[in-house]
Structure 1
Amino acid sequence: MKKIFDLVNKHQMLPFVMTIFVYFAELYLYLLDYISSFFFCNILALLVLFWPLFLLAIRKTQISKYIFLLSFIASLFLLVYEFPLISTDGSRYFVSSYVSPEELIKNSGIYILAVRSTEILLAEDLDGQDFRNLNNQLLIFDIEPASNFHRYAGKTTAIFKLVGINMEYDYFQQMSVNVKSYLNTSNPNIDEFLSRNNSGGNSAGLALVLSSLIEQGKFKNDIPIGVTGAISKSGKAIEIGLTKEKILSANKIGLSYIILPIGNLAEANDVVKSLKLPIKVIGVRNVDEAIEQINELNKDPE
């Protein structure tokens, strides 16, 4: 014990450094799904108990006490901050389901590929088959339990909202800004789509721009084409998620072509090949490349 006291007396910041090290080591393991939130918070609780006991043990020594008090306060703060994680264990799921591709502007041939992504919170673990049976009116693609990373992000966002700080990024709103900025003109159909309630994500951006340009007479398209992909204000195609599900949606209504960002092309080709789907996927870097590819398809459709 004397050696421990001597070490602490020599390196006075050691207790605080240990506290921070234990916390970040735990956080790292938690975010990688190696430990549960219950284990995470219990270790923090042990630190909260440990430092007062250590203070009691050194009360008659010449060792400085303030660093142990600081370590206790830090441990208590971290425990309170992370404690809400316990309520998220094994109860949060993401359900992806089918949404019929939409030709927003009639006779444009451009079909928006979308997937409904729903987050559900339950008091107990979800039985996937029972959930499918109860929701047999939906074509459910996948049911994924939330990772610790998603739980942590949700907890952090909720805490910051309590103090008036909104950390959620509105992808749908950003898509609206980018689409309107690129088109630099209004379109009633596009405006109606961008004003819909309960819409999210940004993967319709490329399809919205192409549909509008066709209606403006910038180019023509006579082939049904599924389109997915976000865009920047300059028209760059930005990769999106749920690629497999969007390909399955296109296949369900018999679309033979899909245009998507080049960043999603490899994954899309793997999906088409593994499922042996009669679909040709085309990767593009920007709106101009998408127009070139559509023009080529209209010249010589396979």
Structure 2
Amino acid sequence: MTISLSILFLLFCYELPLIGFAVQSHIADIYHEPSETVERSGIYIIGIDVETLNNMESKQAVRDQLTNEHKDVLTITEINNSMSYTNKNRTLLSWFGLNAKSPKEKMREDLREYFGKEEQRLTDYFHNDHATGNSAGLAILLTELIINGTFQNHIPIAVTGAINGKGEVTAVGGIKEKIQIAEKSGFQFMIIPSENGKEAETFQKELHANIRILDVNQVDEAVKQINYLNDIYK
């Protein structure tokens, strides 16, 4: 009896977090105004606003509601059981402190490793509630190099990409939505990770986007591309 009750209790604890997720029906990616990392740096972070909606009947219903709220919807995803259980498992792990480091925390460590220290500007950025994932890593690193006098930039450039402590640029999510945002915002150039290159090419054709996309593997490649653009378009 004790064993049975213990098993039932554990099952209840496992299913409890799903109650809150059960009503979630859709996730919407929404346009977010690109932000310049530092005034006159010309480096712009491309982020996406994400909104979870409950008990919506269809994607069209979601679009209609958000449009009425004057939100520019990019994509809508219907939440399935797999996504619900993934979120639930993350919640359970967080309860016990077993979650892996968040992308934001990992980015902070990688930037600190690359520079050998953490500048006050980086500390301020990570205390910002809008700093979430790791896709701003490349933009932040490039900005620090500009501030440190490594190179200069005078052209508005949309930048997305994660980095590691060695300065390698790694893949990020939401490439389709970020291309849409950069295009809507009027950017002529966008730098992305080479790992996202093929999907970016596909989405660019699908969206009929005119923006010029440059993919890089290393921070040094990004600096080289920016220097080249500045020489051509100065």
The answer to whether 1:204 aligns with 2:136 is yes
| Aligned counterpart, 2:194 | 262
Identity %: 30
- The 10-residue stretch of structure 1 (153-162 or 259-268) with the greater mean CA deviation from structure 2: 153-162
> Aligned AA for 1:243?
I
Q: TM-score, normalised by structure 1?
A: 0.67
The answer to whether 1:231 aligns with 2:167 is no
The secondary structure found in structure 2 opposite 1:93 is: strand
| Aligned counterpart, 2:111 | 179
Q: Radius of gyration: which is bigger?
A: 1
| Aligned counterpart, 1:148 | 81
| Aligned counterpart, 2:33 | 100
* Structure 2, unpaired ranges of 5+: none
The alignment of Structure 1 onto Structure 2 pairs a total of residues equal to: 231
What displacement does 1:112 show?
1.0
- Does the CA-based 8 Å contact 1:207-1:228 persist in structure 2? yes
1:19-76 deviations in Å (ceiling 9; x for gaps): xxxxxxxxxxxxxxxxxxxxxxxxxxxxxxxxxxxxxxxxxxxxxxxxxxx9x89985
Identify, as 1 or 2, the structure richer in helix: 1
- Does the CA-based 8 Å contact 2:24-2:52 persist in structure 1? no
What is the aligned counterpart of 2:178 among 238, 242, 246?
246
Pick closer, same or farther for the CA change 1:174–1:161 going to 2, 3 Å: closer
1:70-97 deviations in Å (ceiling 9; x for gaps): 9x89985785465444764462432211
* Structure 1, unpaired ranges of 5+: 1-69
The secondary structure found in structure 1 opposite 2:36 is: coil
What is the aligned counterpart of 2:203 among 265, 268, 271?
271
- Does the CA-based 8 Å contact 1:104-1:189 persist in structure 2? no
> Aligned AA for 1:106?
E
- Does the CA-based 8 Å contact 2:112-2:118 persist in structure 1? yes
Pick closer, same or farther for the CA change 1:301–1:272 going to 2, 3 Å: farther
**Structure 1 vs Structure 2 CA RMSD:** 2.8
> Aligned AA for 1:271?
F
What is the aligned counterpart of 2:63 among 129, 133, 139?
129
Alignment of 1:27-46 (within 5 A): none
The secondary structure found in structure 1 opposite 2:35 is: coil
> Aligned AA for 2:69?
N
Q: TM-score, normalised by structure 2?
A: 0.85
Identify, as 1 or 2, the structure richer in strand: 2
